Structure 1
Amino acid sequence: MEPTNNQRTVESYEVIAEEYARDTQSDNPVLASGLTQLAKTVPGAHVLEIGSGPGWDADFLDKSGLTVRRTDITQGFIDFQRNRGKEVDRLDAINDELGGPYDAVVCLHVLQHVEADDLTVVLLKVAASLRPGGRFLVSIPLGEEAGWQEGESGKQYYRALRTEDDFTATLARAGLSTEWSERSNQEDETGWLCLLAELGR
């Protein structure tokens, strides 16, 4: 059986996990405003992070007083975090159960690698894993095209861009409503969208 687009993307990350970790290390994560907003909204929360990568965002949340279950599908990232002394679980958000209930779920810089049919599956799982009134912090790149892109590493990654309206409508069908959002580029329909959604009570 041919690997899926998501599986092929994971294979690319396996090769560059340590390089990616070095390139993204910072005391102030790219989406620090969203992480700070989450910590203010659900102080002391028990959080599931889907796609923890090197673990920098989870470190930020730990320092903010939240308890984070770190997960990733890429073994290279799992090994990297375990070598840092962190506890991290292998989790495939498309095919595995997410557990819970959690006070919040975090999924940053991940869903662009998920195809449309699988996106609906993942969001329904997120909603099912949350307590009533739980929060979902998520980021997506904005746009309309989908396909393969080559990163600076020379590896290829499947990337599906979505409009804000389409994505928030998909969230709503899963029972999640936006309560806070921020764009990295306010002038047009490109850039990144970070949003915090609430599960209906």
Structure 2
Amino acid sequence: MESQNIPDPGGSPNARTVESYEEIADDYARETAGGGVLTFALERLAETVPDAHVLEIGSGPGWDADILEESGLTVRRTDVTQAFIELQRRRGKEIEQLDVINDDLGGPYDAVVTLHVLQHVEPDDLPAVLTKVAGALRPGGRFLVSIPLGEGAGWEVGESGSPYYRALRSEAEFVAALAQAGLETEWTERGVEDEETGWLCVLARLR
């Protein structure tokens, strides 16, 4: 989906971004159905921690959780957006509302998964979120995460016309932030547009 930078629409970046997803949840689900962009990473996680109990933060329509469950993992599906929760319940899935910034994550889990989510977390909140993830893992537990690469943070609007907040980071910055939280990077995979942009997928292990 194409996007463009816009002036700050005001309000909490987290709350305003959630409002946007409330408005576009059904369209987002249709656009991403069957995409499987990070299927390789999800299957690799399943091979690394077979029969694992997994917390997924930001399940959205639930396509990634479907892949994990098909691979034999037990997934606690969560999302902060009520529209995604209702969508998954219509699909017959169990899902809970969870705000990664403000709520306790429970656990301990064998793995935590959050794909295409941390881009919406403000830079000042990221260390606390990663520390919270680490605290929800068993010793040796895994964290599978993806982030957009780049520099800067601000508001964008996609084809839907709804604004959302994005914070971009370099691979080195993000790996260092993981290490600060006690998470050791095991492997990384880039979806590269050029040397400094695109998406980074990381599997990290709790030390």
Q: Same fold (TM over 0.5)?
A: yes
Q: Counterpart of 1:45?
A: 52
The aligned runs of 1:157-172 (5 Å cut-off) are 157-172=164-179
Which of these residues, 12, 18, 30, is aligned with residue 20 of structure 2? 12
SS at match of 2:192: coil
The aligned runs of 1:37-76 (5 Å cut-off) are 37-76=44-83
User: Hey, which of these two has a bigger chunk of strand by percent?
Assistant: 2
C-alpha displacement at 1:3, in angstroms? Answer: 3.5
Q: What amino acid maps onto 2:32 in structure 1?
A: T
The aligned runs of 1:1-201 (5 Å cut-off) are 3-26=11-34, 29-185=36-192, 187-200=194-207
Aligned-CA RMSD value:
1.0
| Aligned pairs, number | 198
Structure-2 change in CA distance of 1:186 and 1:154 (3 Å): closer
C-alpha displacement at 1:186, in angstroms? Answer: 6.9
C-alpha displacement at 1:110, in angstroms? Answer: 0.2
C-alpha displacement at 1:118, in angstroms? Answer: 1.1
Runs of 4+ with >4 A deviation: none
C-alpha displacement at 1:4, in angstroms? Answer: 1.1
Name stretches of at least 5 consecutive residues in structure 2 with no aligned partner.
1-9
SS at match of 1:23: helix
C-alpha displacement at 1:152, in angstroms? Answer: 1.3
TM-score by length of 1: 0.96
Q: What amino acid maps onto 2:119 in structure 1?
A: Q
C-alpha displacement at 1:187, in angstroms? Answer: 4.3
C-alpha displacement at 1:29, in angstroms? Answer: 1.3
CA–CA separation in structure 2 for the residues paired with 1:19 and 1:60 = 21
